[in-house]
């Protein structure tokens, strides 16, 4: 559940966030603190296996683009001149 927080400036110039439980509408808050269920579907909670799958897919796209580029260079005679 998201909760509002209030920023309070400390004596040393830094800020601290304090939770304000009296606010029920978080759309009016300057700072929103999220907890468990709010971040459950975040990319930061991705497993290692999911990361490997996504990384492999991205690498596959780059590899396919490189192969298409290489084939295009062979078909065009390997010329570096622009037309």
Q: Mark whether 37 and 66 lie in a shared domain.
A: no
pLDDT tens string 2-28: 778 878 888 898 988 888 778 778 787
Q: Do both 1 and 37 map to the same domain?
A: yes
What the block records as the tokens of 24 is 């029920």
* Helix, strand counts (H, E) of the chain: 2, 3
- Examine residue 13 and state whether it is found in any structural domain, yes or no: yes
Domain span at residue 2 reads 1-41
Q: Are residues 1 and 18 in the same domain?
A: yes
Joined together, the tokens standing for residue 62 give: 């780059």
> Quick one: 1 and 21 in the same domain?
yes
Residue 35 and residue 3 share a domain: yes
Residue 59 lies in a domain: yes
Backbone angles phi, psi at 11, to 5 degrees: -65, -30
Residue 83 lies in a domain: no
Structural domain total, the chain: 2
pTM over 0.75: no
pLDDT confidence tier of residue 79, bands split at 50, 70 and 90: low
Question: Which residue in 25, 33, 24 sits closest to 6, CA to CA?
Answer: 33
- Which tens digit of pLDDT belongs to each residue from 21-69? 787 787 878 888 777 666 666 666 778 898 899 999 999 999 999 999 9
């Amino acid at each position: 559940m998201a909760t509002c927080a209030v920023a309070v400036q400390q004596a040393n110039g830094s800020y601290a966030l304090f939770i304000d439980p009296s606010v029920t509408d978080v759309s009016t808050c300057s700072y929103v603190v999220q907890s468990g269920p709010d971040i459950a579907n975040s990319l930061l909670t991705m497993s290692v296996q999911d990361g490997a799958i996504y990384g492999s897919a991205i690498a596959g796209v780059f590899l396919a683009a490189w192969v298409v580029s290489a084939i295009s260079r062979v078909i065009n005679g390997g010329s570096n001149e622009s037309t």
